[in-house]
Amino acid sequence: MTHLTGQTTARGAALLADPLLNKGTAFTRRERAELGLEGLLPPAVETLDEQVTRAHRAFLGYDKPLNRHIYLRQLQDTNEVLFYRLVTAHLEELLPIVYTPTVGEACRRFSEIYRRPRGLFLAWEDRDRFHEILHNRPHKGAVEVIVVTDGQRILGLGDQGVGGMGIPIGKLSLYTAIGGIHPARTLPILLDVGTDNEELLSDPRYLGRRERRLTGAEYDEMIEAFVSAVETELPGTLLQWEDFATAHARPILTRYRDRLLTFNDDIQGTAAVVLGALSTACRVSGTPLPEQRLVVLGAGSAAVGVADMIRAALVDEGLSDEAARRRFWFVDVDGLLIGARTGLSDEQRVYARADDEVAEWDGTGLAEVVRRVEPTALIGLSTASGAFTEEIVRQMASTCERPVVFPLSNPTSHSEADPADLARWTGGRALIATGSPFPPLKVDGREAPLAQANNVYIFPAMGLAVAAGGATRVTDRMLVAAARAVALRAADEAAGLPGPPPLLPAIGGMREAAREIALAAALAAVEDGVAPRATEAELRAAVATAQWTPDYPAP
């Protein structure tokens, strides 16, 4: 039969069990007769839109976010077209359920709520057989995007072991829903290198390896075995590293970024979306990016990645690298990063301030840094709940007319501040972007939506850019171009709107926005010489063609 997705010989119950081919109650009477489905479905024949309405009502019937998440995962395992049509039709409503913050709880309870397999689990004991195991992937055709994690740093929840698989599954759902990567061409992978989570190790229901995490040479061997298998079996596939601990994330990216088509979403995706929001804030405040003074709370891989991306944009705007570095002050749990501190990584030391700068200071904590530096932007990637206190924020607002305050840690419980408090403490002058969803602010009797600096603005578009433009590497220029495209989209949407403009585009329009962001990244890939030469018109057409739309094939 050729009127279904691709060609298949599946019939009857086997056809209904294939989520990529199953149309459920949308199978016509003729299809039911031809495909051995008569009697296997209720008599009614529905359109896809009618199915979406029914599925949405069923979704709303669950009161708890986790139960809604489980329902959506089950729908995805049953009928992928219906799942993606539902998600795209209600993207803003469903995004917090499909991904952050609800996916964090789903990862924490992964072994408890596990239903059906999805993706691949690669364990240390099988490292010599990874090439063979990749052949066991659910769909045997080309793979355009892999998202892989080892489960060690899941959101702000820490080590979730094999439960981390919820992250690649959720991310790839958004690659498809927003970027339009065909679901059969995505592959979530969990590298099971053990866990140091005592609760998981002692839980009889835990589904992962009951071993301590690999470290040192063994860990590196595991990563190399995985990369080698991907190179051999799935060359040209975009490989996204997700939620690796700081100690591993940057070294892995450094080791493989010039060898593979790869990027780290926590380091580079987060950085790009923050740069996009900051670029919009610069326009609103009237303070150009090269004049910003940025205090960053947190010095992990994500925070350093944000600074690296902003620094690249500063250099692109004419600053020397040294001048760009001096626009940043990093603060972690031990205070300001200064040259005299031991234990700093090479990436952190780039941003360490000179010791003599703080010689007269009363300590190097965040409050003192804000008082001394008088920052224009305060960025939080610390997972330290409430770290942006009223005293600190009011001090910042006393020296800055439009303070930029980004509490970016997630999930919501780990945010550095509540946006409503930030607005109140600054008299409504703060320009805010958050890492997790918060309710709209009340401004002059109306609701003002908040910008959520979700990586969803970047990574689905990067997948689409690579698929359409044929890039062989992910470069910094591609990510900076994507960030600027995000800011342009936000500016276009805000034109003519009353009240404080949102710093990022509306989530509901992200499928359309992804095409513009992907085009910008694809053009940058051509400029960097990592993609075949093509005109803007050619790339625009390629992007539109590459973006899959969830719809049933005509009967």
- Clarify whether residues 220 and 291 are in a common domain: no
CA distance 127 to 221: 8
- CATH assignment of the domain containing 544: 3.40.50.720
- Clarify whether residues 136 and 186 are in a common domain: yes
Boundary of a domain, candidates 239, 260, 281:
260
Q: Phi, psi at residue 121, to the nearest 5°?
A: -110, 120
Give the model's confidence band at 2: pLDDT under 50 very low, under 70 low, under 90 confident, else very high: very low
Residue 1 has pLDDT above 50, yes or no: no
CA distance 275 to 487: 8
- Catalytic residue set: 99, 171
State the pLDDT at residue 140. Answer: 87
For the chain, the 3-state helix, strand and coil shares in percent, each to the nearest 5, are 50, 10, 40
Tell me the β-bridge partners of 446.
443
List, in sequence order, every beta strand (DSSP E) within 290-343. 294-297, 328-332, 335-336
Give, in degrees to the nearest 5, the angle at Cα 195 between 191 and 198: 160
- Clarify whether residues 177 and 190 are in a common domain: yes
CA distance 414 to 15: 44
- Clarify whether residues 277 and 184 are in a common domain: no
What mean pLDDT comes out for the span 54-83? 98
- Determine, yes or no, domain membership for 430: no
Whether the CB-CB separation of 530 and 473 falls below 8 Å is answered with: yes
Residue 157 has pLDDT above 90, yes or no: no
- Determine, yes or no, domain membership for 386: no
**pLDDT, tens digit (0-9, with 9 covering 90-100), for 86-114:** 999 999 999 999 998 899 999 999 999 99
- Ranges 11-15, 160-164, 450-454: which has the least confidence: 450-454
- Clarify whether residues 320 and 462 are in a common domain: yes
pTM of the model: 0.91
- Determine, yes or no, domain membership for 384: no
Residue 411 has pLDDT above 80, yes or no: no
State the pLDDT at residue 497. Answer: 65
Residue 496 has pLDDT above 70, yes or no: no
State the pLDDT at residue 272. Answer: 97
- Clarify whether residues 135 and 197 are in a common domain: yes
- Determine, yes or no, domain membership for 283: yes
- Determine, yes or no, domain membership for 343: yes
- Determine, yes or no, domain membership for 247: yes
- Clarify whether residues 191 and 277 are in a common domain: no
What mean pLDDT comes out for the span 464-490? 96
Average pLDDT over all residues of the chain? 94
- CATH assignment of the domain containing 109: 3.40.50.10380
Q: What is the 3-state secondary structure (H, E, C) of 372-404?
A: HHCCCEEEECCCCCCCCCHHHHHHHHHCCCCCE
What mean pLDDT comes out for the span 210-234? 97
- Determine, yes or no, domain membership for 381: no
Give the model's confidence band at 382: pLDDT under 50 very low, under 70 low, under 90 confident, else very high: very high
Tokens describing residue 348: 């952190």
- Clarify whether residues 302 and 197 are in a common domain: no
Boundary of a domain, candidates 260, 291, 311:
260
Q: How buried is 234 (Cβ within 10 angstroms: 0-12 exposed, 13-18 middle, 19+ buried)?
A: middle
Q: Identify the DSSP state of 41.
A: S
- Clarify whether residues 237 and 336 are in a common domain: no
- Clarify whether residues 269 and 192 are in a common domain: no
- Ranges 296-300, 436-440, 462-466: which has the least confidence: 436-440
What residues make up the domain containing 277?
A: 265-369+439-555
CA distance 47 to 57: 16
Counting the structural domains of the chain, the total is 2
- Clarify whether residues 140 and 227 are in a common domain: yes
DSSP string for residues in 464-491: HHHHHH--SS--HHHHHHHHHHHHHHHH
What mean pLDDT comes out for the span 266-284? 95
Boundary of a domain, candidates 260, 287, 304:
260
- Clarify whether residues 339 and 292 are in a common domain: yes
Q: Which long-range contacts (CB under 8 A, 24 or more apart) does 210-217 make?
A: 211/124, 213/152, 213/159, 214/124
- Determine, yes or no, domain membership for 418: no
Whether the CB-CB separation of 504 and 432 falls below 8 Å is answered with: no
State the pLDDT at residue 498. Answer: 64
